[in-house]
Amino acid sequence: MSMLDVAHLTKHFGGVRALDDVTFSVASGEVVGLIGPNGAGKTTCFNVIAGALKPTSGTVKFAGTDVTGWSADRISRLGVARTFQNIAMFPELTVWDNVYAAAVTRMKAGYLQCVLGLPWARAEARTLESVVWDTLALVGLAEEADTVSSQLPYGYQRRLEIARALATRPRLILLDEPVAGMNASETADIMALIRKLRSEHTVLVIEHDMSLVMGVCDRVIVLDNGKKIADGEPDTVQRDERVIQAYLGGDIDAELIA
């Protein structure tokens, strides 16, 4: 089943064409990489898919439902989660609270029922607490649960973002540069994490780090100047003429031209 269908997606900002007739699909259970030189439109693509931006034209379908133009929170509630390139935590809250706040949004019990302290609401809240602990354990942040998130080291902040995304029990996860600024061992941890995720989630990853892309992705989509220029298995894409040209013209990543 197709988890995500993006068709003829275009986004203009004044005169700038951030996205130009982009079409691709992501099947359920796939881990797909979205790469391209800086300014290619990758984050814009995420923003449009997640509802943070409205496309100028084109459609976005999530699991068959047309979500084009939906608000970000509505899309999130449908089962899409995302992380941010610039990290957007809840700075004054602890790690635990950050993740709990995300988990709580999926409660069946409504605001009033929780405030009134009705038994099933309390029970559900208790269940959620285990979910939060499990999620923290999964990303390796259990020890830091009590730390105020703004005081976390950078690498842990990125993990927190992922934990928070997971706490909303999504079907599709959009990771925006999850290993930016990380060293090799931290990157390996995240790669292992992504591999753990694939059994229950579909993942779309923006990354510049080629070791992650090659190591974890089933498929790679390449954007350049807002256009899709390649779409296929990592090995194939790596050798694609146009992709090499795009990178030579912009960022050069030695591993890509291996």
Partner 1 sequence: MQTTVAQDAKTAISERARKSTRSSLLAIAVLALVIFAIPVFVGDSPYLMQVAVTTLFFAALAQSLNLVMGFAGVVSFAQAAFYGIGAYTSALIALHFGVGFWGGFVAALLMTFTLAIVLGLPTLRLGGPYLAIATIGLQVIIQSVLLRWTSLTNGPAGINNIVAPTLFGIQIRQGVSYYLMVAVWLLAIIVLLYRISRTRLGYELLATREAEGAALAIGVPVSRLRIAIFALSAALAGGTGSLYAHYIGSIDPYVFDLTLSATVLVMVLLGGRASIIGVTIGAAILTLLPEYLQAVSNYRMVLYGAGMVILTLFFPKGLAGLAILRRSIGRGTRTEPGGGVAGVDA
Residues 6 or more apart from 140 whose CB is under 8 A from it?
Answer: 159, 189
Residues in binding contact with partner 1, number by CB under 8 A: 51
* Residue 138 contacts partner 1 per CB under 8 A: no
Among 17, 122, 198, 208, binds partner 1 (CB under 8 A): 122
* Residue 189 contacts partner 1 per CB under 8 A: no
Residue 87 Cβ, how far from partner 1 at the closest point, in Å?
A: 9
CA distance linking residue 209 with residue 10, whole number of Å = 26
Pick from 135, 133, 108, 134: nearest CA to 122: 108
Residue 91 Cβ, how far from partner 1 at the closest point, in Å?
A: 6
Among 42, 158, 159, 164, binds partner 1 (CB under 8 A): 164
- CA distance to 31, 61, 113, 171, per residue, from 80 (Å): 14, 11, 26, 6
| Diameter over CA atoms, the chain | 63
- Across the chain, the runs of DSSP E, i.e. the strands, are 2-13, 16-27, 31-35, 57-62, 65-66, 80-82, 172-176, 202-206, 219-224, 227-232
* Residue 52 contacts partner 1 per CB under 8 A: yes
Among 66, 129, 233, 255, binds partner 1 (CB under 8 A): 129
* Residue 114 contacts partner 1 per CB under 8 A: yes
Q: Which range of residues in 23-31, 144-152, 217-225, 228-236 is near partner 1 by CB under 8 A?
A: 144-152
CA distance linking residue 160 with residue 90, whole number of Å = 10
Query: Which positions from 66 through 95 interact with partner 1, judged by CB under 8 A?
Result: 71-74, 76-77, 81-82, 84, 88-94
Radius of gyration of the chain, Cα coordinates, nearest whole angstrom: 19
- Burial (CB < 10 A; 0-12, 13-18, 19+), residue 258, is exposed
* Residue 214 contacts partner 1 per CB under 8 A: no
Question: What residues make contact with partner 1 under the rule CB under 8 A?
Answer: 50-52, 71-74, 76-77, 81-82, 84, 88-94, 96-97, 100-102, 104-107, 109, 111, 114-117, 121-122, 125-126, 129, 133, 137, 142-146, 148, 164-165, 167-168
